[in-house]
Amino acid sequence: MALVVQGACTSTADVPPAKEPVPTLSMPDEGGRPKVHKGAIVIESSPANLVALLNGKKVGNTPLTVDDLSAGNYDVTFKDEANGDVTMTVELAEGEYRTVRHNVVPRATE
């Protein structure tokens, strides 16, 4: 991978400060354990109104948001009778919101 630099950096003042990471924990629950924020996957398609599955279970028609998800890997399947189903794997971190989008490419007609 090549790094292309344009201009010159003459001092560290030219470099913006690093942003602090956003914490994923909040105030402790009744048992004294920190609460973990759940994540979400936004599922979109073009055209809209495709049936969407999350790990093989129907969650609705696009566009939609599936929230209250724990960290982990999720398979998002777009059901498309005319052009074939498409499955994408999404890795979700704690408290993360991810968007999955499928742009339908129509099959060539003979």
Q: What is the CATH number of the domain that holds 45?
A: 2.60.40.10
Q: Which residue is listed with tokens 């924990």?
A: 25
What is the structure's pLDDT at 31?
67
Q: What is the DSSP letter of 58?
A: E
Please state, rounded to an integer, the average pLDDT across all residues of the chain: 78
User: Which segments of the chain does DSSP mark as H helices, in order?
Assistant: none
Q: What's the pLDDT band for 30 if we cut at 50, 70, 90? A: low
Kindly state the percentage of the chain with pLDDT values over 90.
56
Whole-structure pTM value:
0.66
Q: How many domains does the chain have?
A: 1
Q: Please state the rounded mean pLDDT for residues 54-70.
A: 96
Name the more confident of 63 and 18.
63
The predicted pLDDT at position 29 comes to 58
**Structural domain of residue 86, as residue ranges?**
32-103
User: Considering the domain boundaries, does residue 9 fall inside one?
Assistant: no
Task: Indicate whether 89 belongs to any domain.
Answer: yes
Query: Is residue 47 a part of any domain in this protein?
Result: yes
| Averaged pLDDT for residues 45-73 | 96
Q: Mention every residue, 6+ apart, whose C-beta is less than 8 A from residue 79.
A: 50, 51, 52, 53, 85
The CA-CA-CA angle for residues 52, 55, 58, to 5°, reads 35
Residue 3 lies in a domain: no
pLDDT at 79 over 90: yes
Backbone CA torsion sign across 80, 82, 86, 92: negative
Check pLDDT > 50 for residue 15. no
* Most confident by average pLDDT, 8-12, 34-38, 44-48: 44-48
